[in-house]
Amino acid sequence: MPFYLTTPIYYVNATPHIGNAYTTIAADVLSRHHRQRGHDTFFLTGTDEHGSKIARVAAEQGLEPQDFVDRMAPQWQELPKRLSATPDFFIRTSDEGHKAVVQEFLQRIYDAGEIYEGTYDGLYCTACESFYTEAELVGGRCPQHGTVPERVEEKNYFFRLSAYQDRLLALYDENPEYVLPRFRYNEARSFIAGGLDDISVSRASQRWGIPVPWDTDQVIYVWVDALINYWSALTYAREGEDLRETLWPDVRHLLGKDILKFHCVIWPALLLAAGYEVPKQLFVHGFLLLDERKISKSVGNVIDPLDLIDVYGVDPVRFYLLREVQFGHDGNVSVQGLHDRYERELGNDLGNLLSRTTAMVSRYRDGRIPDAPWDESPINEVITELQVEVASRLDRFDLTGALEKIWEAVRGLNAYVESQAPWVLAREGEQTRLDQTLYDLVDGLRAVAIALAAYLPETAPRILGALGQPGDLAWNGVAYGGALPAGDIEPASPLYPRVESPAAAA
Ligand code: MSP
């Protein structure tokens, strides 16, 4: 089964902050999970390099736009690596392969008669790379950036978006889960139902972009250029292969709520106009906030994810963001919050469980894991539920709910240690029950490690290693009774060593 997942492509002029890292981390968790299930997974991310915003910043720095983007792109290419994210391809919209496909794509829409020439007179926010109507402005300012938009009047090419209203409504009505979560589906659908204006798809006053194929005095509007990345990448990501044959339209887009209209309305319409199939599904996530304000470069309250990673490690940062904020909603994050969950959940709940389990195997069974699965084991049920529930929640992009399910299992195992009290069983010579209990703890932790591997890619192999278990992460390993008898188990060193104070990362 193909599973093709994308992140938005990031504006290359900025430096990565925790809000952008969030989308990449979420996409990576889903991609890793689908790989564990044996799906034909393809994860795409990259950079958005054209448009007036980039041209302006390049000019401010006295650089040619191409030199500027070439200097900025490496830090974005580095970001997935620093986040332990595993994209299968990194697209840059300045790639020749992308540019050619964008031109071909637009030409098809033009040839279909869906593009016409007109004059644009409107208010443009460069930070959004988007036009606004007077009604959409708040006190005459951009609703996202609070800046005063510029008046732009020029000859442009227009796409007949208005003609796609009925087809888009039908698409939404036939696919009640086309956009998730549901309140975002409603938002997109009402926007369409409210009537669509045609959109300008070219810029006459700019040079930094992909030339309009039939009128090279104009460049293609940066958002049209950018959206097509999801399609173009498949044509050249693998030399000699056209991945569209296997992966399109099985694509799922992850995006933040600020760019819903482009993805949930304009993008499917552009595909329909070009005669291609629309994406399978879109998931819209919320914003990470700091003190209730969006974390963004323009607000100036950015948290550098790399600073947090330096202090806490990458797994805790991945874990914290997906656990703290219900995926799909807005939510506050803070360094103190990360510190607390690091100590309480990763250090105590998970780390101590491993330390205690390995210490008891070492002490009571001389480092040998007893081969003692048993029919009435309560852990059997816990793990079976984990296998089914985590997968089904992740199929609905419920990354927070799936993680909560795993944490229930972690807490369940901790409660099992207390209720079985292996130290009492040892003292009283209850050998069979002691064997069964130790087996259950090892097997439960092994299954939890596999279930957690998509979230904690560095920690999971360490847990399996400490338990003397093979590193195979296949999803069917999340089943009771998979622990292999192993010897030489030693008390594990702490998974998450103490970090003195959150100030270090602030
Ligand atoms: N270049 C466009 C996307 C083109 S996709 C065809 C763009 N880039 S961006 O760099 O500004 O934003 C990229 C992603 O980061 C968006 O999904 C956006 O929602 C996300 N985030 C930026 N700040 C954010 C938070 N504070 N919280 C969560 N995500 C946010 O838009």
Task: Give 367-416 pLDDT, tens digit per residue.
Answer: 999 999 999 999 999 999 999 999 999 999 999 999 999 999 999 999 99
Residues 413-448 pLDDT 10s: 999 999 999 999 999 999 999 999 999 999 999 999
CA 10 to centroid of ligand 1, rounded, Å: 7
Identify the residue whose C-alpha is closest to ligand 1 atom 24: 19
* Higher-scoring residue by pLDDT: 127, 2: 2
Cα–Cα distance, 386 to 18 (Å, whole number): 29
CA 136 to centroid of ligand 1, rounded, Å: 20
Ligand 1 lined by 288 (C-beta under 6 Å) = yes
- Cite the residue boundaries of each domain of the chain with CATH code 1.10.730.10: 334-502
Ligand 1 lined by 129 (C-beta under 6 Å) = no
Cα–Cα distance, 498 to 274 (Å, whole number): 56
| Structure tokens that stand for 329 in this block | 């909603």
Identify the residue whose C-alpha is closest to ligand 1 atom 19: 256
pLDDT of residue 500: 84
CA 7 to centroid of ligand 1, rounded, Å: 9
Ligand 1 lined by 8 (C-beta under 6 Å) = yes
3-state secondary structure of 494: coil
- Cite the residue boundaries of each domain of the chain with CATH code 3.40.50.620: 2-303
CA 293 to centroid of ligand 1, rounded, Å: 15
| Structure tokens that stand for 447 in this block | 């299954």
Ligand 1 lined by 19 (C-beta under 6 Å) = yes
Measured between its terminal Cα atoms, the distance across the chain in Å is 43
Residues 208-221 pLDDT 10s: 999 999 999 999 99
pLDDT of residue 333: 93
pTM over 0.85: yes
Ligand 1 atom index nearest CA of 257: 19
For residue 304, pLDDT beyond 80: no
Residues 64-116 pLDDT 10s: 999 999 999 999 999 999 999 999 999 999 999 999 999 999 999 999 999 99
Given a contact cutoff of 8 angstroms between Cβ atoms, the answer to whether 352 and 358 are in contact is no
3-state secondary structure of 241: coil
CA 22 to centroid of ligand 1, rounded, Å: 9
Cα–Cα distance, 463 to 471 (Å, whole number): 9
Mean pLDDT of the chain: 95
Please give the backbone phi and psi of residue 83, each rounded to the nearest 5 degrees, phi first: -95, 5
CATH of domain 334-502: 1.10.730.10
Residues 452-476 pLDDT 10s: 999 999 999 999 999 999 999 999 9
| Structure tokens that stand for 157 in this block | 């090419």
292 band by pLDDT with thresholds 50, 70 and 90: low
206 band by pLDDT with thresholds 50, 70 and 90: confident
* Higher-scoring residue by pLDDT: 360, 120: 360
504 band by pLDDT with thresholds 50, 70 and 90: low
CA 27 to centroid of ligand 1, rounded, Å: 13
Cα–Cα distance, 122 to 120 (Å, whole number): 6
pLDDT of residue 205: 84
HSE of 361, CA atoms in CB hemisphere, 13 A: 30
Ligand 1 lined by 258 (C-beta under 6 Å) = yes
Ligand 1 lined by 325 (C-beta under 6 Å) = no
Identify the residue whose C-alpha is closest to ligand 1 atom 25: 19
Phi-psi category of residue 113: left, alpha or beta, with phi > 0 → left and psi -120 to 50 → alpha: left
Ligand 1 atom index nearest CA of 230: 6
Ligand 1 lined by 130 (C-beta under 6 Å) = no
- Reduced to 3 DSSP states, what percent helix, strand and coil does the chain have, rounded to the nearest 5? 50, 15, 35
Ligand 1 atom index nearest CA of 10: 10
Q: Determine the topology of domain 2-303 in CATH.
A: Rossmann fold (3.40.50)
For residue 298, pLDDT beyond 70: no
Q: What is the mean pLDDT of residues 272-292?
A: 93
Q: What is the mean pLDDT of residues 238-260?
A: 97
Residues 27-70 pLDDT 10s: 999 999 999 999 999 999 999 999 989 999 999 999 999 999 99
